[in-house]
């Protein structure tokens, strides 16, 4: 497979507004987009540093994956997303090599990217996302 760069780092937060304030007022970054991904039950806020983005994630429902994550582990690093050339092929290769896929087929994520998740139980504890345009 061909990973090209870290597309974004996902960070689970309880309150998007409070977290955006920290990234803007303390770190001096600029939030350039806020987007709800209904299917994932999250509201996201995006920042860019170089070619990598930071994606803040607030759950919109107590039974969403981000709410469950915060309940178990608290706020913090939630997932690591790699940009990949040939998303379907990369998924097939990962599965062939024994990785459990959460998404066997790509689906639409934030920013209209095609995305798919690999299960953290087979990626050394890091929920891993592949993305492509």
Q: Please, which residue, 45 or 127, has the CB nearer to ligand CMX? A: 127
* DSSP state letter for 45: E
**Which of 58, 49, 51 has the alpha carbon at shortest distance from 19?**
58
Is residue 48 part of the contact set for ligand CMX (CB under 6 A)?
A: no
Is residue 82 part of the contact set for ligand CMX (CB under 6 A)?
A: no
Name the strand (E) or helix (H) holding 4.
Answer: strand 2-13
Q: What is the C-alpha separation between 91 and 60, in angstroms, rounded?
A: 28
Q: Which residue from 1, 29, 35, 68 is in contact with ligand CMX, where contact means CB under 6 A?
A: 68
Residues in contact with ligand CMX by the rule CB under 6 A? 10, 37, 40, 42, 55, 57, 65-66, 68-69, 72, 78-79, 102, 109-110, 117, 119-120, 125, 127
């Amino acid at each position: 497979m061909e990973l090209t760069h870290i597309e974004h780092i996902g960070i689970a937060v309880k309150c998007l507004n409070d977290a955006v304030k920290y990234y803007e007022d303390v770190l001096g970054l600029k939030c350039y987009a806020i987007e709800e991904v209904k299917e994932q039950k999250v509201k996201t806020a995006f920042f860019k540093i170089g070619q990598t983005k930071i994606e803040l994630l607030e759950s919109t429902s107590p039974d969403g994956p981000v709410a469950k994550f915060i309940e178990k582990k608290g706020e913090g690093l939630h997932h690591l997303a790699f940009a990949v050339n040939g998303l379907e092929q990369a998924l097939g290769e990962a599965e062939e090599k024994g990785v459990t896929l959460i998404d066997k087929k790509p689906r639409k994520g934030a920013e209209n990217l095609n995305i798919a998740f690999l299960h953290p139980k087979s990626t050394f504890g890091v929920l891993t996302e592949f993305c492509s345009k």
